[in-house]
Amino acid sequence: YVNQVKTEGGAGNVVLLDAGDIMFGGTPFGPLTEGEAIIDLYNRLGYAVSAVGNHEWDKGQALLQTRIAQANFPFVAANVVLQGTNNQPAYLKPYVVLNVGGIKLGVIGLTTTETPNITVAGLTEGLEFKDPSQTVLRYYDEVKAASDAVILLTHQGVDNPTYKGDKQIAQDLLTAGKPVDLIVGGHSHTNLNNKPVLVGNGVYTTTIVQAYYAGRQVGRVDAMVDPATKKLTVTQWEGHAILSTAITPDPDVATRVQFWDDQIAPLLNQPVGVSNVELTRNYNAESNVGDIVADSMRWKADMVDDGQINNSVIAAFTNSGGLRTDITLSPGGSLPLNLTWGATFSVLPFNNTLYLMDLTGAQLKSLLDQSAKLEKGILQSAGVKYYWWNDCNCANPKNWGAYGIQVGGKALDYRKTYRIVTNNFLAPGGDSFAAFIQGANRRDTGFDMQEGWNDWIKAYTPINNPADFGQRAIKLSKIVALLHTNDTHGRWEADSYHGGMAYVASLIKQERAKNPKALLLDDGDTTQGNAFAFYFKDRDPNPIIRGLNLLKYDALTLGNHEFNFGPATFIKTWAQAEFPILGANVKDDGRYGFKPGQVRDYIVKDVDGLKVAILGLTNPRVPFYEMPTNIEGLTFSNGFETAQKLVPEIRSNENPALLVTLSHMGYSPYEGGDERSTDKYLAQNLVGIDVIVGGHSHTRLDYGDMTTSASNPQGTLIAQAYRYAGYLGKVTVGFTGDATSGYTMVSRDAELLSTSKAAVDPDMQTFLAPFVTEINNYTSQVIGTSTTTLDATQAFTKETGATNLQVDATKWQAEQLGYQVDFHLSGAMTNSKVPAGTLKVGDMFTLMPYENSLVIYRLNGPQIKTILEKSYWNWWQYYYNTGQGSRYTTCFLDISRGGQIVYDKSRAPDDNNVVALRINGRFVDLTDANTFYMVSTVNYVGAGSCNFKDPTQTYSLWPIDQLIASPQIYVRESVIEWIKLNTPIAPQVEGRIVLANPQTASITPAANMMGYVDSLNRPGKYLGTGLLWTGQDTRPQTHRYLHGIFQLDLGALPADAVIGRATMSLTQRNTNYATGNSTYSLNFLPDALDSTFSRTSYWVVHNTTPEASINLGLVAPAEGAVHNANFGTGALQLLQDRLLTTRLASFRLDGKLMLPYGRDVLGWDGRPGSGAPLLDVTYYTP
């Protein structure tokens, strides 16, 4: 065809140009001859110049230089320079000036700047690819002065969405006033269908042409050049189709092609296997050749990884652009296809190698998200299945992503590490797949991809489509996006932690720009939690509700804190909402004041033709958070039972494509609450809910929790966005199908969008500005000073000065109201800290953000002990981080000044960890049910929160029928007033809470205080003999009874010690008269015998009824054997009593013969410092 054109126009008027990618990436000629055959043929064809394509670097710079030296024509690439300079490598030229029929034609060459990203890492090392437009401008005047016309020969692509393409370069040059008339381009494989691209500004027009790819076309530009004006005018352009045109080959070139064919034919024609299907590509979708190549990669890499096929490599990925051709039937051919080495090489011509690495689940998600963007086509894969969305099915979408990802047949675990294989082009981030760069345990196996594919074909020939063909990367038909917030607690202005609804608002705008149909939901605890919420709680308009209205929320479920301020505030606040308020499990009998229809069970929304039902469930534990007077008229039902009733009704009546529950119940069993009123239980046990958007528990579910069970095999996705407006949650639900046959939900995914990199939304900032000014004036009011830091950060497990301040001020407030409170019990209102110095109102909101109010009870000793035992339980969970129960500083109870609580912290909670309670130096008898005390606390604790409930979780440990008063006086307001009256303050740690460490002591009798008594001898005769004879001789001639006796002096123990454990060790010494036919016991004698121990007769000792007895069982004689008698509860209590009274403890050993007649007498050791009885005691001191 070139000869034909030269004949028509005159050989001197024709110039032959190429726009790059001439040697590699196509036929076997290039790679198998390292480009030598291509350059040889180009020389024979008479090429005048070539641009440098990205594939020219496929074999490295040294080989490229060799080929350029072989060429009879130059390679031009003006924007390729040595790193850090403007100097070109010696083997490249920036431009050439060609003489074409007497016309000097200036040709500036350009190479795509994405070359380093789409070439195997290291091959372009030391080179820099400059901006193409700026490069042209650098040379423009120089080339124009030397030429009659200037054109560009580029390897940029016509219109590249990621890097500058020819259209953008043309526009840049027009804008700069230095236009070119013609751009001859390549790289994007664009078929212009004989219609050149024109870029103009009304004065100048640039013509852009490209000749498709792989020799399918030869582009012909007919042009006129005016040397006076240096203007080139394109009169005609054609992309002449070579494959579809009958052209007689040039004999010289044909002969040379045959020569090179003969050189490589033996390898090309080697048979590999057969295929029962044609192997075809799809750049923007899964293809069968992509599946098969990826399968072979995983198969071979699995062997290479550890020497055996054992699924050590779970997935494989290759780029669609790396599959260079189809393998199809020739005209008239039939299946099966014969697969040769040359055929597989034509598909994989780059000699890429298998590259192993580890990727986390999160990195895999990022990788597949980018694949769905179609910027470089779909990644072809094996071992994974996913759905993908691209709103325009193009490389420049607004909304895209990968969803429902499975790896190895299981749902993607974002935190798990997966061993995967890719190719050495993608591994360093080729085609901009940056997730591969993050891979760990990297290894380039050096094993050729094509060779691995050939081995796989040989192993599995004849090959067919994979069983899961078409199911690895499935295009979604529709998506529904749910944007959600929860537990924002009044955080609207931008805070120092880069959180707040001012930031969230910008994320909402960002997501709505991607998907205007996204629903926006809030899950409650929205109007309480900081100074902003408290100060404006009764304001109309309320800035929080107005803010929600401005952001156009679609629905909100009530949180438990929405009920903090009582009915008047509730009704006034929520009357301002312009969106539905949900709460199916809260009902008003009329006394609270709900307006008709104000709180709904559920709503139904239409999203892109799909019905979405949203059911609201508030927290049924509100009666455990609020006193009855604050929620009069309201009934809160079990969340599960409510959903169990309503979900089937919604499914039947509304037939939604998607059913969402907007729940403020908490993710999992929480605060010891009813398991059935949790999101997790709901998901496990109720079929029909597709997604639960949750709140209350402040749970950060980064990627949601897809919960399945035997009862709910299809599962329910649970999402929650932590707290305090630090995240915007996003749930994406995918559907396949069409309007005719209907849509099927196939994927559900959740993610959290952090505010950490978001900007403040200017509209929201403007709206908030006057409110922020007002609240700042309020919170900056000075109330006093403190000489100590008010630090409650450790109040989960320790007494703190900040907690002491709060309990003392609250008790003082109760007294100001006329209540004679004996002591106050509650923890810190939160774990915050305020530095010493000036104290302001805002500092008090830092320490006490919640509206906890004063309540007063009348309690007896056992009730108080039960409450304190639960406080210790809370301490234990916090200290050892067991994850059980609620974690609030409020739950570890402090006591007001004058009080002290002593705990045994050596054991897990067992309802006996409270050692003592002292009030003003007096011990409270925690066993006395008849003496009552006035005890104050806060409503949150008194209502039964913080785990202060009975084991059935039915009622509060603070009996409601013993509630004396419930004034709506907040702790924070009490502290503010107390500080004003007592400033400067200096709250300290005072030893009010003692968590005692165990101490030990070992006590043995004095020599003269142990021995035995004998029924046949006088009293006391055998004390101090070193033997504690014990047993019976019931033979007719004898009838003798002996008891070992001893007394301990407890003076080694501190007077205020509390005994926790005790063990008595007894050692056998003389077994001459022992037969093993007796059971033995250690008996605790009454304290009446303590003072007369050494004078007590046998009959008194024998006939005295012991207060406690420890059975040693049947004792086999064995001299030196040691027997341990562990003190039970009764014996421990007696020992404690003796410590507080006589400080002595007397014991008797008994032996009971199990035979009617006989003798069994055992001599227990009674020698001091040897085997004498030894009491080991564990005790505690405050």
Percentages helix, strand, coil for the chain, rounded to the nearest 5? 30, 30, 40
* Helical spans, DSSP H, in 1069-1151: 1098-1103, 1129-1140
Percent of the chain with pLDDT over 90: 82
Q: Is 252 exposed, middle or buried (0-12, 13-18, 19+ CB in 10 A)?
A: exposed
3-state secondary structure of 235: strand
**Neighbouring C-alpha atoms within 13 Å toward the C-beta of 501:** 30
How is residue 821 written in tokens? 């409170």
CATH of 999-1180, one of 3.30.200, 2.60.120, 1.25.40, 1.10.1750: 2.60.120
Q: What is the pLDDT of residues 449-480, one digit of tens each?
A: 998 999 999 999 999 999 999 999 999 999 99
Between the alpha carbon of residue 96 and those of residues 92, 107, 830, the distances in Å are 11, 5, 75
Closest-CA residue to 570 (of 618, 613, 605): 618
Query: To which H or E segment does residue 173 belong?
Result: helix 166-175
Q: Check residue 536 and give its pLDDT.
A: 97
Burial class (CB in 10 A: 0-12, 13-18, 19+), 794: middle
Residue 386 in this model has a pLDDT that exceeds 90: yes
Q: Please provide the size of the chain in residues.
A: 1182
Residue 511 exposure: Cα atoms within 13 Å on the Cβ side: 29
Q: Which of 982, 936, 681, 948 is nearest to 821 (CA)?
A: 936
Q: Output phi, psi for 1164, to 5 deg.
A: -75, 145
Query: Quick one: tokens of 545?
Result: 């509700």
CATH number of 478-770: 3.60.21.10
Taking the C-alpha atoms of residue 658 and residue 674, their distance in angstroms, rounded to an integer, is: 27
DSSP state of 971: H
Q: Are 1012 and 1096 in contact (CB under 8 A)?
A: no
For the chain, the structural domain boundaries read 2-256, 278-475, 478-770, 783-995, 999-1180
Task: List Cα–Cα distances, 1034 to 372, 431, 620, 792, 1160, in angstroms.
Answer: 96, 101, 72, 71, 9
Position 953 pLDDT exceeds 80: no
Q: ω into residue 984 within 30 of 0, thus cis?
A: yes
User: According to the model, what pLDDT value does residue 357 have?
Assistant: 96
| Alpha-helix runs per DSSP H in 555-638 | 567-574, 622-625
- Between the alpha carbon of residue 903 and those of residues 804, 859, 992, the distances in Å are 18, 20, 11
User: Which among 209, 203, 219, 103 has a CA at the least distance from the CA of 150?
Assistant: 103
Strands (E), 1007-1139: 1010-1014, 1027-1033, 1040-1049, 1058-1070, 1078-1084, 1108-1114, 1122-1126
Give tens-digit pLDDT for 118-156: 777 788 999 999 999 999 999 999 999 999 999 999 999
Nearest to 449 by CA among 281, 299, 306, 337: 299
Please check the confidence at residue 426 and state whether its pLDDT lies above 70. Answer: yes
CA distance 46 to 886: 82
Give the lowest-confidence range in 444-453, 486-495, 678-687. Answer: 444-453
Label residue 245 by pLDDT band (50, 70, 90): low
Please give the pLDDT value at position 687: 97
- pLDDT, tens digit, 9 for 90 and up, residues 37-92: 999 999 999 999 999 999 899 889 999 999 999 999 999 999 999 999 999 999 99
Q: What backbone torsions phi and psi does residue 822 show, to the nearest 5 degrees?
A: -75, -40
Question: What pLDDT shows up at residue 121?
Answer: 74
Q: Enumerate residues 6+ apart whose C-beta is below 8 A from 316.
A: 294, 295, 297, 298, 301, 381, 382, 383, 420, 421, 422
Looking at domain 783-995, which of 1.10.1380.10, 3.90.780.10, 3.40.50.300, 3.55.30.10 is its CATH number? 3.90.780.10
Helix (H) or strand (E) holding 914: strand 914-919
**Residue 853 — pLDDT band, cuts 50, 70, 90?**
very high
Q: What is the pLDDT of residue 1082?
A: 97
From the list 563, 560, 556, 483, the residue with the least C-alpha distance to 523 is 556
CA distance 695 to 666: 6
Gyration radius from the chain CA atoms: 44
Neighbours of 104 (CB within 10 A): 17
Q: Do domains 783-995 and 999-1180 have the same CATH topology?
A: no
1148/553 Cα distance (integer angstroms): 79
Domain 278-475, CATH class in plain words: alpha beta
Q: How far apart are CA 810 and CA 788, in angstroms?
A: 20
**Please, are residues 309 and 300 in contact by the beta-carbon 8 Å criterion?**
no
| Cα distance between residue 725 and residue 703, in whole Å | 17
The answer to whether the beta carbons of residues 706 and 717 sit under 8 Å apart is yes
> What amino acid occupies position 303?
M
Q: In the numeric block, which tokens belong to residue 1084?
A: 């605790």
Least confident of 281-295, 577-591, 873-887, 897-911: 873-887
User: Residue 495: exposed, middle, or buried by beta-carbon count in 10 A (0-12, 13-18, 19+)?
Assistant: middle
- By CB atoms closer than 10 A (0-12, 13-18, 19+), residue 671 is buried
The model's confidence at residue 670, banded by pLDDT at 50, 70 and 90, is low
Identify the DSSP state of 29. Answer: H
What is the structure's pLDDT at 372?
98
User: Looking at residue 673, what is its pLDDT?
Assistant: 59
Residue from 122, 206, 125, 216 nearest 170 by CA: 206
pLDDT of 1065: 96
pLDDT for res 987: 97
pLDDT value at residue 434: 94
DSSP helix/strand/coil, 287 = coil
Instruction: Give the separation between CA 719 and CA 703, rounded to whole angstroms.
Output: 8
Whether the per-residue pLDDT at 884 is higher than 80: the answer is: no
**Average per-residue pLDDT for the chain:** 93
Band (pLDDT 50/70/90 cuts) for residue 1043 is very high
Tell me the CATH number for domain 2-256: 3.60.21.10
The string of pLDDT tens digits covering residues 720-738 is: 999 999 999 999 999 999 9
The string of DSSP letters for 250-265 reads PHHHHHHHHHHHHHHH
pLDDT at 1020 over 70: no
DSSP letter string, 861-873? HHHHHHHHHHHHH
Distance CA 54, CA 430 (A): 12
pLDDT band at 918 (very low <50, low <70, confident <90, very high): confident
Greatest pairwise CA separation for the chain in angstroms: 152
For residues 307 and 955, the model is more confident at 955
- Is the pLDDT score of 594 beyond 70? yes
**Who contacts 1004 (Cβ-Cβ below 8 Å, separation ≥6)?**
1048, 1168, 1169, 1172, 1173, 1174, 1175
* Crossing angle (nearest 10°) for helices 166-175 and 132-146: 60
Whether residue 196 contacts residue 221, with contact meaning beta carbons closer than 8 Å, is answered with: no
Spatial CA neighbour of 779 closest among 498, 562, 495: 495
Per the CB < 8 A criterion, the answer to whether 1032 and 1155 are in contact is no
pLDDT of 672 strictly over 60: no
Q: What is the pLDDT of residue 244?
A: 63
C-alpha of 449 from chain center: 36
